[in-house]
Amino acid sequence: MMIYPRPLLVKSGVAPVAVNLFSNCKTNQPGFRARNQVEKINIGFLMLAAGLAVLTTVGIVVSMLFETMNFFSMHSGRDFFFGLSWAPNFHGNSALSILPLLWGTLYISFVALLVAVPLGLFSAIYLSEYASSLTRSMAKPLLEVLAGIPTIVYGLFALVTFGPFLKDMFGPEGFFALGWMNDARSVATAGIVMGIMLIPFVSSLSDDIINAVPQSLRDGSFGLGATRSETIKHVVLPAALPGIVGAILLAASRAIGETMIVVLGAGAIARFTGNPLEALTTVTTRIVSQLTGDGDFNSPETLVAFALGLTLFVLTLGLNIFALYYVRKYREQYE
């Protein structure tokens, strides 16, 4: 096979012609591997994309870290981590403890998981084990529509519709006249609405994990005389349990980092309380509050938002790492 050199680009001057001649001679050699060179270019492009993602994450963490260090140079770290009150005062003598905010965050997230995990898991079991192909093709997209609704819409629903409904049930002048709830914004308002938002998240991940269990395990259980419900309980769910636990932990991370629902539905009171019908505040709510307004950016009352954000980042990162570790350690391997 004869190799024809590429036509030279005729340009004015001797240097461009010499460069083109050298390039043509190099790339038209019989031993030149063009596919390998293209593959190297593709690998370099992918490495660049991955590096940009990693560098962006590192840049965010570093920027938060420097501002957090500035905050701790102005405010006591002992008060931030071990204090029991949250009372920012831009005129000085602020009590900036994360514990009341962390309690509100974990409490609301716990309520959300109480709603999302059973409903999402049972939905996944029905869609993967009981529903017909026609029902699944219609129900699964409709369920996942909830995942596409903006969180601000959920927040407005909590503030305008669901919160007043709970107040009408448990308020002083409500249906039961119990006087347990004085404000439409509460832990239950934000937690239940957030749980509704997380249902498609838990359901979709659990459905994919349950479908990954080999059909041979189900057939073996049926062959031994087990019913469908017994097969799900004793065979399918134990096999899919590591993945389901990982999905629940990822949903918990999503709930901890939620902002708009808790801003509109949870209230703004930082305190320790176990009553789910009382208002509480969360870490994300306080971050929004401290960074909005006309306060001095270099004051501890503003820089505390970066310390709160970094603490929240470490908490969610720890949950994600634990979820990945648990899934990888206990994941069943099938041939």
Residue type present at position 5 = P
Percentage of residues of the chain with pLDDT beyond 90: 24
How confident is the model at residue 260, as a pLDDT? Answer: 87
Lowest-confidence range among 43-52, 193-202, 241-250, 288-297?
288-297
- pLDDT of 142 > 70? The answer is yes
Flag whether pLDDT at 266 surpasses 90.
no
Phi, psi of 330 (to 5 degrees): -105, 10
Three-class SS state of 332: coil
Rounded distance between C-alpha atoms, residue 240 and residue 247, angstroms: 11
- What's the one-letter identity of residue 330? Y
Mean pLDDT, the chain, whole residue set: 83
Rounded mean pLDDT, 134-161:
87
pLDDT band at 2 (very low <50, low <70, confident <90, very high): very low
Can you give the pTM of this predicted structure? 0.81
pLDDT at 1: 45
Q: What is the pLDDT of residue 25?
A: 54
CA distances from 196 to 55, 113, 158, 220, 255 (A): 34, 9, 11, 36, 11
Are 232 and 244 contacting, i.e. CB atoms less than 8 angstroms apart?
A: no
What is the average pLDDT across 193-222? Answer: 90
Separation between Cα atoms, residue 205 and residue 124, nearest integer Å:
8
Residue 110 pLDDT: 94
Which range, of 9-13, 103-107, 325-329, averages the lowest pLDDT? 9-13
Average pLDDT over residues 183-199: 91
Residue 5 CA to residue 8 CA, distance in Å, equals 9
Q: What is the DSSP letter of 184?
A: S
Closest CA to 280 of 289, 292, 271, 293: 271
pLDDT at 29 over 70: no
31 secondary structure, DSSP code? T
How is residue 202 written in tokens? 């838990």
pLDDT-derived band at 93, boundaries 50, 70, 90: confident
* The two three-digit tokens of residue 47, written as one number: 């490495």
Q: Check residue 9 and give its pLDDT.
A: 45
Contact yes or no for 75/304 (Cβ under 8 A): yes
Predicted local confidence at residue 189, as pLDDT = 92
- The answer to whether residue 26 scores a pLDDT higher than 80 is no
CB 189 within 8 A of CB 166: yes
Q: How confident is the model at residue 156 (pLDDT cuts 50, 70, 90)?
A: very high
Rounded to whole angstroms, what are the CA distances from 8 to 23, 37, 38, 116, 250? 10, 21, 22, 67, 58
Residues 316, 312: Cα–Cα separation, whole Å: 6
pLDDT of residue 28: 57
pLDDT attached to residue 23: 53
Give me the pLDDT at residue 107, please.
94
- C-alpha closest to that of 233 among 150, 131, 125, 99: 125
Neighbours of 143 (CB within 10 A): 18
- What class, spelled out in words, does domain 86-330 have in CATH? mainly alpha
Top mean pLDDT of 90-94, 117-121, 294-298 is at: 117-121
Is residue 149 pLDDT above 70, yes or no?
yes
Cβ(90)–Cβ(295) below 8 Å: yes
pLDDT tens figures, 211-223: 888 888 888 998 9
